[in-house]
Amino acid sequence: PFQTLTAPAPFADETSCQCRAPHEKLTIAQARLGTPVDRPVRVYADGIFDLFHSGHARALMQAKTLFPNSYLLVGVCSDDLTHKFKGFTVMSETERYEALRHCRYVDEVIRDAPWTLTPEFLEKHKIDFVAHDDIPYSSAGSDDVYKHIKEAGMFVPTQRTEGISTSDIITRIVRDYDVYARRNLQRGYTAKELNVSFINEKKYRFQNQVDKMKEKVKNVEEKSKEFVYKVEEKSHDLIQKWEEKSREFIGNFLELFGPDGAWKQMFQERSGRMLQAFSPRQSPNSSPTRGRSPSRSPSPPWVFHKASPPSSPKAASASLSSMSEGDEDEK
């Protein structure tokens, strides 16, 4: 059993049903109690297993864990038998065989399994119990192909997994056929391989080009949004720095040119110095000109005033008296 975790499960025709322990008949109660290590309970599960999915794997997991010590054999029907009784499959029988071999719960794979189990087949593979869901499976002219297995007390039911089946997967593919056809054309498959007509091929390729253009426009929009966001972020930072610098500049300006700024003090100091430099100094108290009247200023000796002739004898005598008085003053 440990080989199933590291290697594919073998085929039944390769093992030749090498079960050396005596194969006595077991009841379900005896199997649930446990069997010797060299006598595992041989459980058989069969099916088509097309598009192997989690629902198949869960059914096989239940079959494997029905008893404490079990050996799970899985029968897979061939393509001919399946197409005859059920219909066309997506995967070939070889692909379906390989899918089962790589499931961790499978111990052995039986190729070309029969559609209806016969006593000879059960005896050949030394099968103790058959595991399948309990819903009657009508096929091959029978209301339930497992009816005789149930009557023999060899049937053990498993539970179906809701929401997943091969039919559901095929339904999704048919529903979204255009999408998958366009995708595979884009990946390099030809219209002939996809069974697509010439008109549909051109339509799908045109739709692919439209989708590419939409994707480019979307990328441009995203990049433009990212660019605008970066510009807004940078502009916010620039505005913030500008506000800080402007506040700093205004503070420095007020500090220099404000009412109590350094420029006013410097201007007052310079204006005081200029006024002091341009204003004349006062004469000292010992100056000989301090006693004179500011209205009278002596004429230089070289300036000669032309005397006008006296108009009358009285005026002449008055001028002579004044000159004499001036001479006395100078003395």
pLDDT digits (tens, 9 = 90+) for 208-255: 888 888 888 888 888 888 888 888 788 877 888 888 888 888 777 777
Q: Is the pLDDT of residue 267 over 50?
A: yes
pLDDT digits (tens, 9 = 90+) for 26-60: 888 888 988 887 789 999 999 999 999 999 999 99
What is the C-alpha to C-alpha distance for residues 24 and 126, in angstroms, rounded to an integer?
9
Residues 127, 19: contact at Cβ < 8 Å? no
Contacts of 133 (CB under 8 A, 6+ apart): 59, 157, 158, 159, 160
pLDDT digits (tens, 9 = 90+) for 119-161: 999 999 999 999 999 988 887 677 889 999 999 999 999 999 9
Which domains are assigned to the chain? 28-164 (3.40.50.620), 167-263 (no CATH)
Residues 78, 93: contact at Cβ < 8 Å? yes
State the number of CA atoms in the 13 A half-sphere of 166 facing the CB: 15
What is the average pLDDT score of the chain? 81
Q: What six digits make up the tokens of 190?
A: 């030809």
What is the C-alpha to C-alpha distance for residues 65 and 74, in angstroms, rounded to an integer?
14
DSSP-derived secondary structure letter, 282 = P
